[in-house]
Amino acid sequence: MRFFKERLEVITCYIPSGNEIVSEENFEKVPPSQDNKAHFPPNTCFNVFWFNQQLNWTAPNCKYLIEYLDVLKSLESAKEGSKAVVRLCSVEKQTGRLVYAASGFYVLPNVVITNCHVNNKLQSATGSNLCFAYSNAWNISNYEDALARLKDLPEQKQLFFSGQVYKDAPFPTKFKQTKEWIGRDPITGKIGDFSYFDFAANKYSGQPNNVFFIPSSTILQPGDEIITLSYPGNENSVSPLIDYHNYAEWAPTDSFLKNNIFNGNGSLCASVGKILHPFQVSNNDIWEKNEEFQYDHSTQECLASSECLTFGSSGGVMISKSCKVHHVNNFILVEFHGIHEGGGFVRCSDCLREYYQSMKEDGSVVGIYSSEIGNLRICEKCLNDSENFHNPISYSKSLSVHSKPFIEFFNFIVLPETDYSNFCYSFTG
C-alpha cells in the first residue's frame, strides 16, 4: 500500500513591476511581529479575490493587481463556473462537527471530481459520518448555512473513478494510461510518494447540477494567466505546516491568511496567477528554468503555476480567459484546463541547483519533502547567511486535462454519460 500523507498547499506572492497598477490596501497595516514576515516587500500582491452573493468578485484585505480583478469580473467562465465548484465536507452526523473539507467541481450533472488524496481523507473521516457538497453560488454563505439545509444538499454516494485505485490494481484494466502514469514535479523533477494520478470522481445524490465543466482544447503556455477556483481553509483542522518548517517560516501566518487573503475558512475564492516555466537539466548538466519551453499535447501533464492557495484548495478547478461557456439545452458547460492537486516550496533555487549537481553521478533527485533537501544550505549565499530566504520558489501544481490519464477518463467515463448530439464539441487531448 502506498504511503499517504497530507500534501503541501502553498502561498505564492507577486511583486509588481513599475507599470502595473496596484490597489491602495497597505500590506504593512498588520504589524510584522504579529501577522507579516519581513521578507515580503510592502508592495507584495497575493491576487486572491472573494466571491459574493451577487455572483461576482470582491477585493481581499491586502494588495492586489487592479487589472486582475477587472478581468475576473468580466469573465463569464468565472461567473458560471462558480455554480459548479463545490466545497466537499465530511461531518459528524450526531454533532454537526466538520471533520474535513476540500474542493471539487462537477464534470457531469451528478459527478464531482477532486483529488485521490482528498477522497481518501473524506472516506477515512466518513465512517458513520456524512460527506456532502455545497456551493456559495447556491445562496449558501457558509458551513453553518449548509448544515441548516443539509437534507437538500448533494451527498456522496459512489466512487466513480480513482487514479490511485487503478494504479494499485493487481490486474490489467482498460485504464492503461492511468495505471502506467508516473507523475513528475515540474520544478524539482521529483518522482516519489505520489506516483499515481491524483484524480478521483464520485457520484452525488440530489438534483442534477445544470452547470458543469468540460475540458478546454487550449494548450496553456508559460506566462499565460490562469485562475483557480477553490474553497481554501478548514475550520476545525490544525494546520499541517508543522511538517514543513521552512515553508512555515517563509509564509504569512495562519491568521493573516484567514483574515486578509482568503476571507475566513471555506469561502469560494478565485486565485489568479501564471503558468510557470518548468525546470530541466541543461546542456551543462545544471538543473535550471527552461526559458524556451513550450507545451504541446504530448508534454502537458503536470502544470506549475503561481496562484496563491492554501489547505482546502485541493481539488479546485483551473480556468483562464480563453475558457468558453457553452449553453446546451438546459445545461451550461464551462471549459477548464486542470485540477489543482497541491504545491511545492523550495527554500533556495540556487541550493536546489547545487544539490542536483551533487546528485548527477547516480542520476537521482530527491523530492523537496525529504528532510535532506528541505534543509539545504549549500549555495554560497546560504552558507554565508543561513537564516534568510535568498531565492525561494513557491508554486502550485495541477493535473492538465491534456494528460493521458485524464483523456482516458473523459473518453471512457464522461462521454458515454453525456449526449453531445446537439453540441459541436470534441476533445481528444
- Which residue, chain included where needed, has cell 483551473? 318
Q: Are 343 and 392 in contact (CB under 8 A)?
A: no
CA dist 237 and 247 (Å) reads 18
Q: Where are the beta strands (DSSP E) in 117-169?
A: 130-134, 156-162
Which of 16-30, 72-86, 290-304 bottoms out in mean pLDDT, i.e. has the lowest? Answer: 16-30
Which of 100, 109, 102, 119 shows the shortest CA–CA distance to 162? 119
* pLDDT 10s digits, 286-326: 777 888 889 988 888 889 999 999 989 999 999 999 999 99
Sheet holding 325-328, edge to edge: 211-215, 331-336, 325-328
Task: Inform me whether the pLDDT recorded for 425 exceeds 60.
Answer: no
Ramachandran angles phi, psi of 29, nearest 5°: -65, -20
Task: Inform me whether the pLDDT recorded for 423 exceeds 60.
Answer: no
**Percent of the chain residues topping a pLDDT of 70:** 83
Domains in the chain, ordered, with CATH?
27-347+392-417 (2.40.10.120)
User: What mean pLDDT do residues 377-401 have?
Assistant: 83
CA dist 247 and 342 (Å) reads 14
Task: Inform me whether the pLDDT recorded for 48 exceeds 80.
Answer: yes
Q: How confident is the model at residue 365, as a pLDDT?
A: 46
CA dist 203 and 160 (Å) reads 6
Which of 49, 13, 196 shows the shortest CA–CA distance to 119? 196
- How distant, in Å, are the alpha carbons of 71, 144, 315 from that of 136? 21, 12, 16
**Percent of the chain residues topping a pLDDT of 90:** 44
Q: Which residue type occupies 269?
A: C
Task: Output DSSP code: residue 96.
Answer: -
The model's confidence at residue 121, banded by pLDDT at 50, 70 and 90, is: confident
Q: How confident is the model at residue 7, as a pLDDT?
A: 65
Q: How confident is the model at residue 371, as a pLDDT?
A: 39
What angle (nearest 5°) sits at the alpha carbon of residue 183, between those of residues 182 and 185?
150
What burial class does residue 232 get, using C-beta atoms within 10 Å of its C-beta: 0-12 exposed, 13-18 middle, 19+ buried?
Answer: buried
User: What mean pLDDT do residues 227-256 have?
Assistant: 79
Task: Tally the C-alpha atoms within 13 A of residue 176's C-alpha that lie toward its C-beta.
Answer: 1
Q: Indicate the SS3 state at residue 279.
A: strand
Task: Inform me whether the pLDDT recorded for 350 exceeds 90.
Answer: no
**Alpha-carbon torsion (289, 293, 296, 299), positive or negative:** negative
Q: How confident is the model at residue 327, as a pLDDT?
A: 92
Q: Which residue type occupies 71?
A: V
User: What mean pLDDT do residues 336-344 have?
Assistant: 92
Task: Inform me whether the pLDDT recorded for 276 exceeds 60.
Answer: yes
Q: How confident is the model at residue 60, as a pLDDT?
A: 92
CA dist 271 and 28 (Å) reads 21
Residue 270 grid cell: 478565485
Task: Inform me whether the pLDDT recorded for 429 exceeds 60.
Answer: yes
Sheet holding 98-108, edge to edge: 130-134, 85-91, 98-108, 111-114, 200-204, 156-162
User: What mean pLDDT do residues 261-276 have?
Assistant: 94
Q: How confident is the model at residue 368, as a pLDDT?
A: 38
- Which residue, chain included where needed, has cell 491568511? 257
- Which residue, chain included where needed, has cell 477522497? 119
Which of 103-112, 128-137, 323-332, 349-358 bottoms out in mean pLDDT, i.e. has the lowest? Answer: 349-358
Ramachandran angles phi, psi of 148, nearest 5°: -65, -20
Q: How confident is the model at residue 4, as a pLDDT?
A: 36
Task: Inform me whether the pLDDT recorded for 31 exceeds 50.
Answer: no
CA dist 411 and 149 (Å) reads 35
The model's confidence at residue 242, banded by pLDDT at 50, 70 and 90, is: low
- The DSSP code sequence of 374-398 is HT---SHHHHH-SSS-SS-EEEEEE
Residue-averaged pLDDT of the chain: 83
Q: How confident is the model at residue 221, as a pLDDT?
A: 96
Q: Indicate the SS3 state at residue 260.
A: helix
Q: How confident is the model at residue 257, as a pLDDT?
A: 87
Q: How confident is the model at residue 26, as a pLDDT?
A: 52
* pLDDT 10s digits, 171-181: 888 999 999 88
User: What mean pLDDT do residues 132-153 have?
Assistant: 93
Which of 10-24, 110-124, 140-154 bottoms out in mean pLDDT, i.e. has the lowest? Answer: 10-24
Ramachandran angles phi, psi of 382, nearest 5°: -75, -30
CA dist 410 and 217 (Å) reads 13
